Structure 1
Amino acid sequence: MLKLTNLQKNYPDFSLDCSLEALPGRITGFIGPNGAGKSTTFKAVLGLIHSDGGTVELFGRKADTIRPSDLQRIGVVMAESGFSGELTVTDISRILAAFYPDFDADWFREKAEALSLPMKKKLKEFSTGMKAKVKVLSAISHNADLLILDEPTAGLDVLARDQILEMLREYIENRENSSILISSHISGDLEQLCDDFYMISGGKILCHEETDRLLSDYAILKVSPQEYETLDKQYILYRRQESFGWSLLTDQKRFYIENYPRMVVDRISMDEFMMIMLKGEKL
C-alpha cells in the first residue's frame, strides 16, 4: 500500500531519513517523542512538503507516476488541519461528494447520526471530540484503501477515543485489502489497535516490531547492582540505571522467568518500551 525507502527531508536543525511499510490488511503504528519526525513523514508522503531524497511508493507506483485517481484512494487526518468552523456536517457531506466519486452519502449520514454529530450545527460550536469524529468519518467515507492518520485521538476523552478506535476497527475488518498508518501519543490506543509499529526518534527509525510480540516476549527486568553482575546478559537489549540498580529491556522474557525465578520481570507497555530505548543505553 505504502512503502518509504530512505525518505529524506533536511532542515537546518533537523534531518529525516525514514524507511517503513504499511501493508494491506494491517494497522501500522508510528510512535516517537514530539519532534521525532512523524508529522514531517506524513507531510512528505502527501506532497505537502518537498522531500530531499529517497522514494515513496503508493499502491505500487513511484511518487512521480502517482495519478489523481490514486490520491482519491487515500483518507487523511492531520493533527494541524481540519474543516472551516463555518461549515456544518451537511456542508462537509456535499463537499466530499463533489471531490470523491466513491463517497457514500447515506453511510456518512447514518454514521454521523450514530456518533451524535448534529448535521446542521456549525463546526465552531462542536467540542474537540466531535470535531475529531468528523475528521475521521470524512477520511473513511469515500472508500479509501489507505488511511494516514496523524494523532486522530489527541486531546479526546475516553469515550470519544473509544468511538474513533471502533470506527477504525470496523474499517479494517470490512476492507481486508486496506491499510492504516497511524501516529498517536496515547500508547494504549496503539497497543490494542495496531498489528505492528515503527518507532522514530531524531528523524531515524529505531525499530520495527509486531505489537503482539512486544506484549508477549518483551519485558522490563528490575535488578540490583549485585544481580546485574551475575546476570546472563545475552538477551538484554537496553539498560537504564535506577535508584535500586538497573531496568533492563529484553525480548526473551521466558528465558529470564525460567532461569531467574526470583527476579522482578514486569510486563512492558509501549510507553515503557519507548522510554527505555530513548533514555537508556544500548548493549
Structure 2
Amino acid sequence: MLKVNKIEKNYKNFHLNCTMEVPAGCITGLIGENGAGKSTTFKAIENLIFLDGGSVELFGKPHDQLTAEEKQKIGVVLSGSTFSDVYMIKDVVKILEAVYPDFEKEKFLSLVERFRLPQDQKLKEFSTGMKAKLKLFIALCHNASLLILDEPTAGMDVVARDEVLTLLREYMEEDESRAILISSHISGDLEGLCDDIYMIHEGRIVLHEDTDRLLSSYGLLKMTEERFRTVDRSHLLKKKKESYGYSCLTDEIRYYMENYPDITAEKGSIDEIIMMTVKGEAV
C-alpha cells in the first residue's frame, strides 16, 4: 500500500536516506529519538517537501500523481498541525463536510461524545491531549484505507492513550485491507499495536523487524571481559563497555541462554533495544 524507496532529503545538518514499506493489513511503527528523521519521513510521504532523491508510492502509483479521490483515502495526523483556536467542534464539522465527500459526520460526533471532547468550547480551551484526539478523529472519519500518524498520542495520559490504541485496533478490524504507519516516542504503545517496527537513526533505517520477533528473540547479554573474548559473536549486534565487562545486544537470545549458562541474559524492551542500537558499538 505504501512503498518508500531510498528517499533522500538534505538539510544543512541533516541527511535523510530512508527505505520502508507498509503492506495492506499491517500496522507498521517508526521509532527513533528526537531529530532522527521521523517527521521528515512523514512529510516526504505526504508530498509536503521536495525530495532530493528516491521515490514514494501510494496505492501502487507515485505519491505526486494521486487523484483527489485517492488522496481522500489517506488519513493523516502530523505533529504540529491543527485548526484555528477560535473554532468549535461545530465549525470543524462544517469544514470537514466541505473538504471530504466521504466525511462520516455521525461517526465523528459519536467519537467526540465517546472521548468526552467539549462541544461548547473553542479549541484554544482544549488541552493538548484533547487536540490530539480531535486530529485522530478527523483522520478516522472520511473512509480512509491508509492512516499516516505522526505521534498521534502526544500529550495524552496513559488512559487516553489506551483508548486511542483500542480505537486503532477497531479501525483495522473493520477492514483487513487497511494499513497504518505510526510513530511514537512511547515505545510501549507500539509493542502491543504494531505488526512490525522500523528504527530510524540520523536519517537512516538501522533496524527493521517483526514486533513478535523483536520482543521474543532480541535481548541483552551481560558478561565479563574474559567471557566476551571467548563467546561466539556471530549473533551479537552491538556491544557496550561496562564496569563488569560488556553488555551486548543479540537477536538470538535463546542461543546464548542454552549454550552459555554463565552469561546473564535478559529479554530487552524496545527502549533498551533502541538505546543499544543507537549508543552501542559494532561487535
Q: Above 0.5 in TM-score? A: yes
Give the match for residue 229 of structure 2: 229
**Alpha-carbon distance in structure 2 between the residues aligned to 1:213 and 1:220:** 14
**Are the aligned partners of 2:47 and 2:63 in contact in 1 as well (CA < 8 Å)?**
no
**Alpha-carbon distance in structure 2 between the residues aligned to 1:84 and 1:127:** 14
Alignment of 1:104-253 (within 5 A): 104-253=104-253
Give the match for residue 278 of structure 2: 278
Consecutive unaligned residues of structure 2, counting only runs of 5 or more, are: none
**Alpha-carbon distance in structure 1 between the residues aligned to 2:94 and 2:244:** 61
| Aligned: 1:261 with 2:228 | no
Alignment deviations for residues 169-214 of structure 1 (CA, whole Å, 9 cap, x no partner): 1111112111111111111011111110111111111121101000
**Alpha-carbon distance in structure 1 between the residues aligned to 2:130 and 2:93:** 15
> Aligned-pair distance for 1:215?
0.4
SS in 2 for 1:8: strand
SS in 2 for 1:155: coil
**Alpha-carbon distance in structure 2 between the residues aligned to 1:221 and 1:49:** 42
Give the match for residue 55 of structure 1: 55
> Aligned-pair distance for 1:155?
2.5
Consecutive unaligned residues of structure 1, counting only runs of 5 or more, are: none
> Aligned-pair distance for 1:128?
1.4
Alignment deviations for residues 127-169 of structure 1 (CA, whole Å, 9 cap, x no partner): 1111111111111011111111111112321111111111111
> Aligned-pair distance for 1:63?
2.8
Alignment deviations for residues 61-90 of structure 1 (CA, whole Å, 9 cap, x no partner): 113421111111111111111111111122
Alignment deviations for residues 192-247 of structure 1 (CA, whole Å, 9 cap, x no partner): 11110111111111121101000011110011112212212221111111122111
SS in 2 for 1:147: strand
| Counterpart amino acid of residue 148 in structure 1 | I
**Are the aligned partners of 2:47 and 2:64 in contact in 1 as well (CA < 8 Å)?**
no
Alignment of 1:81-100 (within 5 A): 81-100=81-100
**Are the aligned partners of 2:46 and 2:63 in contact in 1 as well (CA < 8 Å)?**
no
> Aligned-pair distance for 1:281?
1.1
**Alpha-carbon distance in structure 1 between the residues aligned to 2:202 and 2:111:** 39
**Alpha-carbon distance in structure 2 between the residues aligned to 1:270 and 1:80:** 26
| Counterpart amino acid of residue 251 in structure 1 | D
Total equivalences in the alignment = 283
Give the match for residue 11 of structure 1: 11
| Counterpart amino acid of residue 167 in structure 2 | M
| Counterpart amino acid of residue 97 in structure 1 | E
**Alpha-carbon distance in structure 2 between the residues aligned to 1:139 and 1:259:** 50
| Counterpart amino acid of residue 171 in structure 2 | Y
Percent identical pairs in the alignment equals: 54
Give the match for residue 39 of structure 2: 39
**Are the aligned partners of 2:5 and 2:56 in contact in 1 as well (CA < 8 Å)?**
yes
**Alpha-carbon distance in structure 1 between the residues aligned to 2:214 and 2:195:** 11
> Aligned-pair distance for 1:22?
0.9
Alignment deviations for residues 89-113 of structure 1 (CA, whole Å, 9 cap, x no partner): 2221221111111111111111110
Q: TM-score, normalised by structure 1?
A: 0.97
Detail structure 1 runs of 4+ shifted over 4 Å in the superposition: none
